[in-house]
Chain A
Amino acid sequence: MSTPILTIDNVVKHFDITGGFLDQIRFKNGKFKLEKTTVKAVNNVSLSINQGETLSVVGESGCGKSTLARVVMGLYAPNSGQILYSGKRIDNLSHKEMLPFRKKMQMIFQDPYASLNPRKTVQRTLEEPLRFHNPKMSSKKIYDKIEEIMEQVGVDPAWAKRFPHEFSGGQRQRISIARGLILDPELIVADEPVSALDVSIQAQILNLLMETGKKRRLTYLFITHDLSVVQHISTNVAVMYLGNLCELADSGTLFENPRHPYTKALLSAIPKIGETSEKHIKLKGEVPTPIHLPSGCVFHDRCVHANERCVNQIPELLTLDNGTCVACHAVEENRVIS
């Protein structure tokens, strides 16, 4: 097998949310101590994507999927672990060394109302990356390219001189996609690209993403919480819970035969026509705070299969015979009857 285009290797990202010095002082057991509060957003996540594939990362809000996307793009530096692009480590590069990779990987953002600079016309928004990465490109070529890309994403090139607030949400997201595509990247990280849009527009944008993906042989890292979207577009699906990877499988297998108790609960929550809610697996409790992670398996206090081992030992990612990777002691010990 060839080297994957993107490898995420044991990435950990913790955010320090303690304020100043005074906020860190704690009084404990008769002693003053300095203590930091950290949000453990992503813990030891390893994934890899091959050229031309679409990997979807799903999970509920606050499970660290957007953080993972930003770590991949180099917007946050990981606390430990590595990001490899075609086998080359990129997370520790300087700003200048990173530039050639910036051209190859681009990002599409969640909120089309916030991701376009309100003071720049569409043309200037699209022009900026081109001029920055190709300082020698002639203006004529740049404008031709902008026109071509606008046509591709379905926005009339005649509107290039307009400002973002003159467009609807769907059109803005198309422009946002155009900005992502204009450097001819190989990898697109899409952070919930449709969740801020109307349902009727969602399908259009997804089709646009998939069609251009096929045309340009793009690789997608697709972050979403919308399971119905995932099934249609992904090659592989990764399920995250509280910053940890629970299960990784190809799309078909995951939806047919989920193994991790959390994935099962998640999939049972997809509404289906003609079905009552009785079949839903109801989880007890709430998602714990990522500031104080539960010991052992992060899912143990909500899992019906949890036992002593789950409380004490963090489960490793295990590859099963059908290719599914799952991090669960109960699956390993065959305690889950599927």
Chain B
Amino acid sequence: MKSSLQKFKESYFLYSFKQDKVAMASFIAIVIFIILAITAPWIAPMDPYDANNIDIMNSEIPPSWNEGGEKSFPLGTDNMGRDMLSTMLYGLRTSIMIGIGAVSLQAFIGIFMGLSAGYLGGKTDAILMRIADIQFSFPYLMLAILVGAIFQIIFGIGRYEQLAVPLLILIIGFAEWPMYARTIRASVMREKNKEYVEAAKVIGLSKSVIMVRHVLPNSLTSLMVISTIQIANAVMSEAALSFLGLGMPVTMPSLGSLIRSGFDYIFSGSWWITVFPGVLLILFVLSINLLGDWLRDVLNPKLYKG
């Protein structure tokens, strides 16, 4: 009897992971980013959310290796005098939080809708998938502008700061769930005609039990692949919204709002406010996408049956 750890060590999954240097590198990069994000309050040189730490006289100091740079601000400061490194770490934290939150919401709605649509078929399928189509045909930016504006009016700018994270999670989550629903539906429709589902029916199990215990576990591979790609998408969406001024407020910047706040100063020579968060965002999204690519290849049942 092999333990599950031993089984994992001998699996094709781990073998192909070890073979693929790109996958390894992107995985390590993601782990580092996540650790940085989680430990940001402890490793960041200053707390950019605390107004007491910020001195406006320190604004727009270039990175330490440039002329006029200071040792205490290794990557320089932004237009409000916040240390870039600290703000970026906190921003990454916010971006990842929103990304994961939004994807969880997408997954929750998408799995429910896709599973019911795919398994029950017929009218349920038609209705749920038309809802998904309608949702897809709405540009999410329009939705975000609308909902964001309404929220800002209802709760006022002050409260909006606290509500920004859950609000963005809701907006991005609701905008993208049809992706999940479609993927899950397709793989459920492939699975539901297999004989093991009929065997479960013959036992007398109810539809919901068959859906959750038999069909869903066999659709998990496609779920894993789409989840990685969707996290990258959600982080990008958040950055785009923040860049347009609809996302995180300037006082609690995410990577996107940092890029935006630097954008006004880029022609006056303060390039670092935009470039550093931009590079961080690109690296993060790129490594998620590369890992997702590898995952899609390795879990493709046509290439390998696991």
Contacts and interface: CB of A to CB of B under 8 A. Distances in A.
Interface stretch (A52-60, A127-135, A312-320, A326-334): A127-135
A73 B203 CA distance: 10
Nearest to A101: B204
A75 B217 contact: no
B1 interface: yes
- Which size bracket describes the interface of A in this complex? 20 to 34
Nearest to A130: B203
A317 B295 CA distance: 59
A133 to B, nearest CB: 7
A114 B203 contact: no
A7 interface: no
Contacts of A119: 217-218
Interface in B171-207: 194-196, 198-206
Interface string A101-125: 0110011011100111111000000
A110 B205 contact: no
B202 A117 contact: no
A19 to B, nearest CB: 12
Contacts of A73: 202
Size class of the contact patch on chain B = 10 to 19
Interface string B211-223: 0001001100000
Given A115-B195, A117-B218, A129 B206 contact: no
Contact of B195 (A102, A111, A128, A165): A111
Contacts of A107: 198-199, 202
Contact of A75 (B202, B206, B214, B218): B202
Contacts of B218: 117-119
B206 A95 contact: yes
Contacts of B200: 117, 128
Interface in A223-263: none
Nearest to B203: A129
Contacts of B214: 117
A95 B1 CA distance: 39
B137 to A, nearest CB: 20
Contacts of A133: 203-204
Given A117-B214, A119-B218, A161-B1, A102 B204 contact: yes
Interface centre among A110, A115, A117, by most chain B C-beta atoms within 10 angstroms, is: A117
Q: Considering residues B194, B205, B217, B305, which has the most beta carbons from chain A within 10 angstroms of its beta carbon? A: B194
A57 B111 CA distance: 41
Contact of B203 (A95, A102, A110, A111): A102
Interface string B290-306: 00000000000000010
Contacts of B217: 117, 119
A70 B203 CA distance: 13
A137 interface: no
A99 B198 contact: no
A114 B202 CA distance: 15
A80 B203 CA distance: 24
B196 A132 contact: no
A117 B205 contact: no
Contacts of A116: 196, 199
16 contacts: A73-B202, A75-B198, A98-B204, A102-B202, A103-B204, A107-B198, A114-B194, A115-B195, A115-B199, A116-B199, A117-B218, A119-B217, A132-B204, A132-B205, A165-B305, A179-B199
